[in-house]
Amino acid sequence: MTEMTVNNRDALLRDINDAMPLRKIADALDRMSLSADTKALLMDLAAVTVKAGEFVVNLGRKILTLALAVVQAFPGTIFGTVVAVVVAALIAGFPVIGAAIGVFLKPLLVTYGLTVGALSDLRDPLWSDRLGDLEVKLSSLLA
């Protein structure tokens, strides 16, 4: 292995291990309206580690840290998608015609919910400021 590859591997492992501590994950899960069983399963996931050579990688904590960050960053998108999936499941539950039209309607509803939620997130001033900053950086890069 070359020195560059070893440094990249070490940096990658440090990045993966740079996750929220278990107590912060537990606090975030406690604030959510989830069942106790679901919280227990998620805490079990947070405790998952993998040994990679001489390193111990906190894989479960990294997965939950990323999931919590996505939920916090895109609440409208998550909400729109969940509502669309619930509505699609209700429609598919109707006897006889529900199964037939649910097959076609579910992808459309999920796409609609995802799009409406994403647009509501993008209308947030914080995101428009971030997109404006990105536009300035890209335009200065291309100039």
Phi, psi of 106 (to 5 degrees): -60, -50
46 with 57, same domain: the answer is: yes
54 with 119, same domain: the answer is: no
Domain-ending residue, one of 48, 73, 98:
73
6 with 22, same domain: the answer is: yes
Q: What is the mean pLDDT of the chain?
A: 82
Count of domains for the chain: 2
Domain-ending residue, one of 73, 105, 123:
73
Strand partners, 55: 52
Distance (Å) of CA 123 to CA 47, 84, 93, 97, 136: 37, 20, 34, 37, 18
57 with 81, same domain: the answer is: no
Q: What is the mean pLDDT of residues 111-139?
A: 82
Quick: pLDDT tens for 83-100: 998 999 888 888 888 888
Nearest-angstrom CA–CA distance, 102 and 90: 9
Nearest-angstrom CA–CA distance, 60 and 50: 9
**What's the domain range around 52?**
1-73
In the predicted structure, residue 142 carries a pLDDT above the cut 80: no
For residues 49 and 56, is the Cβ–Cβ distance under 8 A? yes
Quick: pLDDT tens for 7-36: 676 776 677 677 888 999 999 989 888 888
- pLDDT at position 54, please? 76
Nearest-angstrom CA–CA distance, 58 and 51: 9
62 with 86, same domain: the answer is: no
Q: What is the pTM of this model?
A: 0.64
Nearest-angstrom CA–CA distance, 32 and 39: 9
In the predicted structure, residue 53 carries a pLDDT above the cut 50: yes
Quick: pLDDT tens for 62-72: 888 888 888 88
